[in-house]
Structure 1
């Protein structure tokens, strides 16, 4: 799903433009109080941060890898002096960022995954096929672009990415078509790639999603290391949160939600002993590091979906930290695909 953060209505601290998905539910889950300290790991246009700062006299360390987010942070810093610190970076590195800022522990973390509305709505960012633009898809300002991937990766690797990260059934056919087209000329525009995929898959009149949706999702996830970023970010939050501190995660597609689900599931119940016939060794049975705040993920209301169709696939999972030690990060058990890991 190519939906991402934000309803196209308000910008934090300024004229109405972007409101994040399930804002009230996330704020309720985080339970802001005076004097508490939070991390908004996916600042975007600052909607969650604004919600926290308005709800209580708390402070927020805001993180985003997109340099464009800084302009929204500046407006909020002026509105809430001394209560907001914006850092350009990855939320997976929030422990290191917090340490540099002199923060040892926090009361809550918000993670709103995927692409923000402001990124989707800017053709030059290359995230969307609804408007033609350069085939970029970078969440930050450095590194390879999606155009680099589709024009250089071997057909086998392209097919593996589309199949695994896009759950695309006809990944091989699409990869073959991409390689054939790039032999004629480099693929540089979002419209070109969307056209290639549409020609392979065709498009029925009853389809609600563009046929290129899964291809664009796969390339974006791979290019930005999003699933690895999520796993590491969840673990970092687990280490930083105080007892009774809260973690709220909004996902937009099955791969993200699977990782968040497994993370909370593994940390909300003691691990079983390997065998009842063997003596239990110290530390072999982990105590729960989280208490689930909602057994099933919350979904947006019908009114919100009507207002913002991009929110329809959003799922909110949240947990409250216990005083147990953090668990070790196991990427395989969280379901992070091997194709999403660095070579």
Structure 2
């Protein structure tokens, strides 16, 4: 299904640097207003600067957060909006000061494309938590340091600072690697941080675009993995992905039989859940990590925390070092996302299917069709 050499554009250069790059108009799919269908359009990309690279986008994943942003579920958006922060492609031009990349390199771009670089978090490689003026610059629906809106990966090309691109291992197909730049790091980061590994019992709540990556990672790290899903509908899928156990949360017996059994629970769903019930599944000193983003505030019963010195934590994607570590881990273990590759003219259909839960497990857009 993957073809890493099929895509080309008229603006691709054959030299490795340029001193006279200009802005370029590229094809893209955008929502003109909140909740509007995405339609083909064009956007202007900035000139390739001293330390920029131009990426010929090959594939772009569809993340559930794309739907939230287009729908303004998380706040006022910047329109027209070109979503997409799971970007995989090939470097087609580099600025004269670029040292990290050369034309032909396989690269990915995730959820942010810049940060202040000087705050404590940026210095620690946690750019996603940038506390500098303006915070991190997100790949789309954000404002760049130049004051212009950012446009995401549902497009033919992207210009980005060389420091904010990641190397995709050669053995990973670019289409199935694209979702690693958000779904992958969103799960890898908490699993690595809270020590998933041999002798540890890990539960993944939900088996969607995020959850299926959590199962793959936790299994590869050597943990005993249980999927907690509303029903047993995806049981076969979960076991094939590497889960040791699969339990339905709609069955009250799940919460009694598994009580006190897990060291770590990662909740990937954005729906309102009774987190206190899930805390009861943790051992003493266990941690429940929230990575899904419900629209409404969540609450927990204090007794569920203090009765076992349990913790509730949150985690948001990962910084540049962790994301590269995750990609290298995927290369070593042959891990990619389970995807359905689509043409760009099926984006709106894919959005509806995401809302309906009808995807196993990530839609990826073939950018050659934009």
TM-score computed with the length of structure 2 as normaliser: 0.33
Higher strand share: 2
Higher helix share: 1
TM-score computed with the length of structure 1 as normaliser: 0.35
